[in-house]
Amino acid sequence: MLKIENTGHITTLTIDRAETMNPLGAPGDGDTFAKACDDINRDRNVCCVILTGAGRAFSAGGDIKAMKSRSGTFGGSAPAISDGYRDNIHRMLRALYGLRVPVLSAVNGPAIGLGCDVACLGDIRIASEKAKFGVTFLKLGIIPGDGGTWILPRIIGEARAAELFYTGEVIDAATALDWGLVSRVVEHDALLEEANGLANKIATMPPHALRHAKNLMRQARDISYDSALELAANTQALMHLTEDHMEGVDALIEKRAPNFKGE
């Protein structure tokens, strides 16, 4: 269900259940994503990840048929369902959030419920003109159970996040752009070309500094300004001792493009 493609310094992860609009949360999805993300974190050659969906949707969310039959992750007693979320769905979300390289969500169509939460785990989100976004959990008589209540307000603000959660409204790509949920909207057929172009720009950066920059942004969400400065000072000292730093300085002085090697 997860197609993995490596091209140069970019890994593309494609949710591949196109015939059913890429539902997520089936048994084993957590393990699949965890392994893929662990492999990416261990591969120093990877500098950027593109996350997208196959077919006409990014992901329509959880498997409604499984909810109806109360099977798989959504079956059994309340404790069993709770464990299903922790051990499977949340394992998938933690794996994606734990990626140490920049993640670019290329939203090719509807990203609904769990699908929207997964898209929001991208550090950068770009959308096809056909993309739609919604967190429609309350319409199903359940609560937002996939971390969206933590990440969505951080992206678009509490008031707009509350509006989406409490009404179940689905917004189009233009509204998502206006609200800051995505950074750009492109023609549908140009989405992956645009995503790869942006990913290639990211992949030209020095690998160690790139991963540390992402970590600094993550840490800054929950620490004071003084703590952020202290963390930056310590990290910056390490970066000054790298060969990539010297390459960047030399390239600037010599007015040429740098050739970073992760050293």
- pLDDT, position 108: 98
For the record, the structure tokens of 92 come out as 């998938």
Backbone angles phi, psi at 88, to 5 degrees: -125, -70
Residue 104 CA neighbour count, 13 Å, CB half: 25
The whole-number pLDDT of residue 99 equals: 98
Domain residue limits, the chain: 2-203, 207-254
Per-residue H/E/C for the chain: CEEEEEECCEEEEEECCHHHCCCECCCCHHHHHHHHHHHHHHCCCCCEEEEEECCCCCECCECHHHHHHCCHHHCCCHHHHHHHHHHHHHHHHHHHHCCCCCEEEEECCEEECHHHHHHHCCCEEEEECCCEEECCHHHHCCCCCCCHHHHHHHHHCHHHHHHHHHHCCEEEHHHHHHHCCCCEEECHHHHHHHHHHHHHHHHCCCHHHHHHHHHHHHHHCCCCHHHHHHHHHHHHHHHCCCHHHHHHHHHHHHCCCCCCCCC
Q: Per the structure block, which two tokens stand in for 108?
A: 């090719």
161 neighbors 117 (Cβ within 8 angstroms) = no
Mean pLDDT by 10 residues, the chain (263 residues): 96 97 96 98 97 98 91 91 93 98 98 98 98 97 94 97 98 98 98 98 96 95 95 96 96 95 90
Name the pTM for this structure.
0.95
Rounded Cα distance, 160 and 203, in Å: 33
pLDDT of residue 58: 98
**Correct CATH for 2-203 of 3.30.460.20, 3.30.70.580, 3.90.226.10, 3.30.429.10:** 3.90.226.10
Q: Which residues, in sequence order, are CB contacts of 225 under 8 Å at separation 6+?
A: none
Q: Which residues, including other chains, have CB under 8 Å from residue 4's CB and lie 6 or more apart?
A: 11, 12, 13, 14, 36
The pLDDT value recorded for residue 79 is 87
- Read off the tokens for 147: 């971390």
